[in-house]
Chains A and B, each alone.
Chain A
Amino acid sequence: MPAPIRLRELIRTIRTARTQAEEREMIQKECAAIRSSFREEDNTYRCRNVAKLLYMHMLGYPAHFGQLECLKLIASQKFTDKRIGYLGAMLLLDERQDVHLLMTNCIKNDLNHSTQYVQGLALCTLGCMGSSEMCRDLAGEVEKLLKTSNSYLRKKAALCAVHVIRKVPELMEMFLPATKNLLSEKNHGVLHTSVVLLTEMCERSPDMLAHFRKLVPQLVRILKNLIMSGYSPEHDVSGISDPFLQVRILRLLRILGKGDDDSSEAMNDILAQVATNTETSKNVGNAILYETVLTIMDIKSESGLRVLAINILGRFLLNNDKNIRYVALTSLLKTVQTDHNAVQRHRSTIVDCLKDLDVSIKRRAMELSFALVNGNNIRGMMKELLYFLDSCDPEFKADCASGVFLAAEKYAPSKRWHIDTIMRVLTTAGSYVRDDSVPNLIQLITNSVEMHAYTVQRLYKALLDDISQQPLVQVASWCIGEYGDLLVSGQCEEEEPIQVTEDEVLDVLEGLLVSNLSTPVTRGYALTAIMKLSTRFTSVNRIKKVVSIYGSSIDVELQQRAVEYNALFKKYDHMRPALLERMPIMEKTASNGPTEIVQTNGEAEPSVVEAKHPPPVTQPTNQANDLLDLLGGNDVVPVIQTTVPAKPASAGGELLDLLGDLSLSGGPAPAPATSVPSSQPAFLLDGLTSPPLFNDIAAAGIPPMTAYNKNGLKIDFTFERANPNPNIAVITIHASNSTEADMTDFVFQAAVPKTFQLQLLSPSSNVVPALNQGTVTQVIRVLNPQKQQLRMRIKLTYTHKGSAVQDLAEVNNFPPQSWQ
């Protein structure tokens, strides 16, 4: 078999490929050759083959079949083999594969190798990709090497120890003794890696941090030497001596000085010195200054030093170098919370950065500008930010718009200003506004009662110009639906009222419905707005027509709305005015605007699409009326004698809440239900699916009782607890008739005190057969959250022997277990 081709030759060949396919072909050919070479266990060329494999891996081709070969190379005695083997291991293996554990022994041997460069390879590999198990096994070796006098090995061992600690934090303790005289080293490599190791230990353990605070004077001395020492060619970077080490020491000082007065004081002078003496003409000097500023801001520095730091950042802002400006803005953003006033002094410079050409700088400047907005500067800042919004790249618009809304909400000097600002954002960046802004804005508008006319007028005018920006269109439709009456009556005080007719308004809204630019959500808004106008405008017929057309829309959402609105016109016209009346002021749940608007009348609708109005209080039906009269009014609540819920709700609990808040219409009038029967609360379904049985008496161990016994009619109550909710008592009435004649048209009604809630399900029949030949049963469910004593008033009506009988009774003898 001919010798496998050399690495460089392969690279040259592959680079001549003119197409991806040609390259793939070459790669496949070579991989096949390499595979067979591996199979032959060829020691001589293994190194060359793995190197080629690594090259192909970098091009993106799979190379996992070379993993074991890397291990073989590592185990070889040849340095070249080990070098490539360890490189392959670092590129192809990772700690997720079991195969990497096979390296452990090799690494252990190599850590004790006689050649420091082999030891170096082992330390490097362990320090880059060692898994927790490997680190545990080999920590001892690393610790040994940390104490060697060989600075080449010592610095590598230090960073390897850092990796071990990151992987297995419990092992940190064992490295403590070795750190004793690390800082007395002269070698910069060892010094630098030692500082990194100390930093790692201090960051991970408060005890270590306390222990190492005593090093502050030593660190200060080293830093001072670096600054004061003359030119050292080996470590010089543009006139600064070892900036990497300086920065690392500054960072360690930051950690040690944080929250500690003594340490902070001990480093005060050196920080001031670095801050004032560092050469700022090149990037490297500014890198040191930057780190110094970060340290000053973090420790307990005196105020003079803090002001110095902020001023350095202020100077950075004016630097020609973009990177420096960017870094300044980033740092100011971090300090704006703690040193707000100091940062405010640089506000005008920061605002100027909004006009910078660089994208990263603009973004930082925008974030910082929003952080600087307060009640005093809101008008000026907003002018700048709105100007920025007009001209910035699309990638900024969404964030900027949200920021403007938030700031306006917090600091708006007047409602008119607030509305104007919102309008400006919607009209200039309307398509970039976040979806969740729409409900927030609507809520805001609702609350600015005196501005309704002005708002709707401006929104209407905006719609006439442009209907492409969906958030604007949605807010506008909603407002026109709500305040359309103000619009046509020309009531605006804030500006010249426009003359617009009902038909013109409806034209605009219908235009939204048919426009290709409108999203389905927008169409929903438009349709609902048109519907609402049916109670505000006089042209009801036109609205009826529009609504009925959409009853056959392909869009299911639209169709459903239209069908329900149609129903409102036909069957429930008496409820329409109340349903569509003006929305009440909405409470906000949190200032950062969740997407929900929680309506005060209890129904929560999580989507952006408008919620249905719950049925308001209407006059109770006849039955309920009678009961109220009989029971003398205020302390009892009539029962819903129905199996259909009075309103849709998403959970049983909410239904109960609603029942508590509203006086109920006893009749069978359902609200335009948006929910499908399956969303009825379990409350009802339980009752329907588990019919009461006379034999269930002993189920809950509550003794039955006789509630009524008169004129041959006897009514017994049996009890059980509703399963999911222990506050609900399920009572089954059993009506029996001991007379010789049937009792027909039997109706049982009940009322309970206000703290209870009661639900009566359908009776088994309304004929109580004579001579105890059968019973009529009916289920009552009583919710008693306050665990008060159960009382009930019952009313019985029936026909007996041709005459109507009616009787009232109070039931007070409930067994305690039924309500406790």
Chain B
Amino acid sequence: RQVNECKSVVQCFLLFHPLYLQMRFLLLFSRQGKLRLQKWFTPLTDREKKKVIRDMMMLVLARQPRSCNFLQWRDLKIVYKRYASLYFCAGLEDKDNELLALEVLHRYVELLDKYFGNVCELDIIFNFEKAYFILDEFLMGGEILETSKLAVGVSLEEADTLQEVY
């Protein structure tokens, strides 16, 4: 079992080793530590994912209210922001622009807000699959896909019309 632990730590390190990726993961979780969305931009095992989620919740939920939105974890920069009862938490590579990452998180919230109309945590709980669809029109592989709010909105609307009633 110790061997497996070592292996997974090594793998984790290898996977977090600087590639040229921008964002490694994006997590949404509540103040009570409930996960609401998880998007992974690198392949990790379930065990590794759980470890990351645990660590992120532990670090972020322990932060003082008026702290700065950045912290260091392993070799990654962690950017987080609280919107009402939800924490948006992204893991970035060392060379990434944290200030812009805050803008990225904000843009995602704006997109959610436009889609759901005054979005709140419950919307994301009951329509989690939609939250993923919105995210997938905005980011791909950790990079921004579309910088226009309008364009993203249009795509979502049109795609929704294709949905058969079920």
Q: Name the distance in Å between B102's Cβ and chain A's nearest Cβ.
A: 6
Q: Name the distance in Å between B76's Cβ and chain A's nearest Cβ.
A: 13
In chain B, residues 88-109, which have Cβ atoms closer than 8 Å to a Cβ of chain A? Answer: 97-100, 102-104, 107
Q: Is the CB of B129 within 8 A of A11?
A: no
B residues less than 8 Å from A12 (CB atoms): 126
Given A166-B20, A322-B68, the answer on whether A193 and B166 have CB atoms closer than 8 Å is: no
B residues less than 8 Å from A78 (CB atoms): 164
Across the interface, name the chain A residue whose C-beta is closest to B150: A234
Of A160, A199, A291, A361, the contact of B97 (CB 8 Å cutoff)? A291
A residues less than 8 Å from B98 (CB atoms): 323, 326-327
- Per-residue A-contact encoding for B94-132, CB less than 8 Å = 1, 0 else: 000111101110010000000000000000011011001
B85 at the interface (CB under 8 A from A): no
Given A127-B141, A283-B99, A323-B99, the answer on whether A360 and B20 have CB atoms closer than 8 Å is: no
Of A87, A127, A128, the contact of B129 (CB 8 Å cutoff)? A87
B residues less than 8 Å from A189 (CB atoms): 145-148, 151
Q: Is the CB of B148 within 8 A of A188?
A: yes
Of A55, A117, A156, A363, the contact of B145 (CB 8 Å cutoff)? A156
Q: Is the CB of A287 within 8 A of B99?
A: yes
A residues less than 8 Å from B41 (CB atoms): 128
A residues less than 8 Å from B64 (CB atoms): 358-359
B residues less than 8 Å from A523 (CB atoms): none
Interface SS of A by simple majority = helix
A562 at the interface (CB under 8 A from B): no
In chain A, residues 262-298, which have Cβ atoms closer than 8 Å to a Cβ of chain B? Answer: 283-284, 286-287, 290-291, 294
A591 at the interface (CB under 8 A from B): no
Q: Is the CB of A192 within 8 A of B147?
A: yes
In chain A, residues 51-98, which have Cβ atoms closer than 8 Å to a Cβ of chain B? Answer: 51, 54-55, 58-60, 78-80, 83-84, 87, 91, 94-96
Q: Is the CB of B148 within 8 A of A235?
A: yes
Q: Is the CB of A159 within 8 A of B140?
A: yes
A143 at the interface (CB under 8 A from B): no
A residues less than 8 Å from B158 (CB atoms): 117
Q: Is the CB of A326 within 8 A of B68?
A: yes
Q: Is the CB of B147 within 8 A of A188?
A: yes
Q: Name the distance in Å between A544's Cβ and chain B's nearest Cβ.
A: 46
B12 at the interface (CB under 8 A from A): no
Q: Is the CB of A235 within 8 A of B140?
A: no
Q: In the complex the two chains form, what is the Cα distance from A385 to B70 in whole Å?
A: 23
Task: Count chain A CB atoms within 10 A of each CB in B41, B136, B151, B159 and give the residue with the most.
Answer: B136
A243 at the interface (CB under 8 A from B): yes
Q: Name the distance in Å between A237's Cβ and chain B's nearest Cβ.
A: 7
Q: In the complex the two chains form, what is the Cα distance from A117 to B71 in whole Å?
A: 38
Instruction: Give the interface residue-count category, chain B.
Output: 35 or more
In chain A, residues 211-235, which have Cβ atoms closer than 8 Å to a Cβ of chain B? Answer: 234-235
Q: In the complex the two chains form, what is the Cα distance from A80 to B160 in whole Å?
A: 9
A803 at the interface (CB under 8 A from B): no
Q: In the complex the two chains form, what is the Cα distance from A577 to B85 in whole Å?
A: 73
Instruction: Give the interface residue-count category, chain A.
Output: 35 or more
Q: Is the CB of A127 within 8 A of B140?
A: yes
Given A55-B128, A196-B143, A322-B68, the answer on whether A286 and B99 have CB atoms closer than 8 Å is: yes
A residues less than 8 Å from B144 (CB atoms): 192-193, 196, 244, 248
Of B66, B100, B104, B128, the contact of A58 (CB 8 Å cutoff)? B128
Q: Is the CB of B35 within 8 A of A323?
A: no
Of B37, B133, B147, the contact of A244 (CB 8 Å cutoff)? B147
A574 at the interface (CB under 8 A from B): no
B residues less than 8 Å from A322 (CB atoms): 66-69
Q: Is the CB of A96 within 8 A of B45?
A: yes
B residues less than 8 Å from A60 (CB atoms): 35, 50
Q: In the complex the two chains form, what is the Cα distance from A290 to B103 in whole Å?
A: 13
A48 at the interface (CB under 8 A from B): yes
Q: Is the CB of B102 within 8 A of A287?
A: yes
Q: In the complex the two chains form, what is the Cα distance from A79 to B165 in whole Å?
A: 10
Of A83, A123, A155, A360, the contact of B68 (CB 8 Å cutoff)? A360
A residues less than 8 Å from B43 (CB atoms): 94-96, 129
Q: Is the CB of A361 within 8 A of B68?
A: yes
Across the interface, name the chain B residue whose C-beta is closest to A58: B35
Given A192-B144, A196-B143, A326-B68, the answer on whether A47 and B100 have CB atoms closer than 8 Å is: no
A340 at the interface (CB under 8 A from B): no
B residues less than 8 Å from A166 (CB atoms): 19-21
Q: Is the CB of B141 within 8 A of A155?
A: no
Q: Name the distance in Å between A252's Cβ and chain B's nearest Cβ.
A: 12
Q: Name the distance in Å between B47's Cβ and chain A's nearest Cβ.
A: 12
B32 at the interface (CB under 8 A from A): no
Q: Name the distance in Å between B135's Cβ and chain A's nearest Cβ.
A: 10
Q: Is the CB of A117 within 8 A of B162?
A: yes
In chain B, residues 40-78, which have Cβ atoms closer than 8 Å to a Cβ of chain A? Answer: 41, 43-45, 50, 64, 66-72
In chain A, residues 584-619, which have Cβ atoms closer than 8 Å to a Cβ of chain B? Answer: none
B residues less than 8 Å from A251 (CB atoms): 97
Q: In the complex the two chains form, what is the Cα distance from A166 to B18 in whole Å?
A: 12
Task: Count chain B CB atoms within 10 A of each CB in A12, A48, A115, A287 and give the residue with the most.
Answer: A287
Task: Count chain A CB atoms within 10 A of each CB in B126, B145, B162 and give the residue with the most.
Answer: B145
Q: Name the distance in Å between A395's Cβ and chain B's nearest Cβ.
A: 12
Q: In the complex the two chains form, what is the Cα distance from A326 to B126 in whole Å?
A: 37
Of B19, B66, B126, the contact of A11 (CB 8 Å cutoff)? B126
In chain B, residues 10-45, which have Cβ atoms closer than 8 Å to a Cβ of chain A? Answer: 19-21, 35-38, 41, 43-45
A residues less than 8 Å from B38 (CB atoms): 58, 91
Q: Name the distance in Å between B41's Cβ and chain A's nearest Cβ.
A: 7
B residues less than 8 Å from A248 (CB atoms): 144
A209 at the interface (CB under 8 A from B): no
Across the interface, name the chain B residue whose C-beta is closest to A128: B141
Q: In the complex the two chains form, what is the Cα distance from A242 to B150 in whole Å?
A: 13
Q: Name the distance in Å between B165's Cβ and chain A's nearest Cβ.
A: 9
B residues less than 8 Å from A163 (CB atoms): 141
B7 at the interface (CB under 8 A from A): no
Of B67, B140, B151, the contact of A359 (CB 8 Å cutoff)? B67
Across the interface, name the chain A residue whose C-beta is closest to B110: A237
Q: In the complex the two chains form, what is the Cα distance from A287 to B96 in whole Å?
A: 11
Q: Is the CB of A323 within 8 A of B70?
A: yes
In chain A, residues 128-175, which have Cβ atoms closer than 8 Å to a Cβ of chain B? Answer: 128-129, 152, 155-156, 159-160, 162-163, 166
Across the interface, name the chain A residue whose C-beta is closest to B81: A323
Q: Is the CB of B103 within 8 A of A287?
A: yes
Q: In the complex the two chains form, what is the Cα distance from A124 to B21 in whole Å?
A: 16
Q: In the complex the two chains form, what is the Cα distance from A805 to B160 in whole Å?
A: 115
Q: Is the CB of A79 within 8 A of B164?
A: yes
A residues less than 8 Å from B100 (CB atoms): 243-244, 247, 287, 290-291
Given A156-B145, A166-B19, A188-B148, the answer on whether A79 and B163 have CB atoms closer than 8 Å is: yes
Binding site for A on B (CB under 8 A): 19-21, 35-38, 41, 43-45, 50, 64, 66-72, 97-100, 102-104, 107, 125-126, 128-129, 132-133, 136, 140-141, 143-151, 155, 158-159, 162-164, 166
Task: Give 17 A-B pairs besides A47-B166, A152-B155, A244-B147 with Cβ atoms closer than 8 angstroms.
Answer: A12-B126, A15-B125, A58-B35, A58-B38, A59-B35, A83-B129, A91-B38, A94-B44, A123-B140, A159-B141, A234-B149, A245-B147, A286-B99, A287-B100, A323-B70, A323-B99, A358-B68
Q: 7 nearest interchain CB pairs? A: A287-B99, A322-B68, A189-B146, A287-B100, A79-B162, A159-B140, A244-B147
Residue contacts A-B, CB under 8 angstroms, 30 given: A47-B166, A55-B128, A58-B128, A59-B35, A60-B50, A83-B129, A83-B133, A83-B163, A96-B45, A115-B162, A117-B158, A117-B162, A120-B159, A128-B41, A128-B141, A163-B141, A188-B147, A189-B146, A189-B148, A189-B151, A192-B144, A199-B20, A237-B103, A283-B103, A287-B103, A322-B68, A323-B69, A326-B70, A326-B98, A327-B99
Binding site for B on A (CB under 8 A): 8, 11-12, 15, 47-48, 51, 54-55, 58-60, 78-80, 83-84, 87, 91, 94-96, 115, 117, 120, 123-124, 127-129, 152, 155-156, 159-160, 162-163, 166, 188-189, 192-193, 196, 199-200, 203-204, 234-235, 237, 242-245, 247-248, 251, 283-284, 286-287, 290-291, 294, 322-327, 357-361, 363
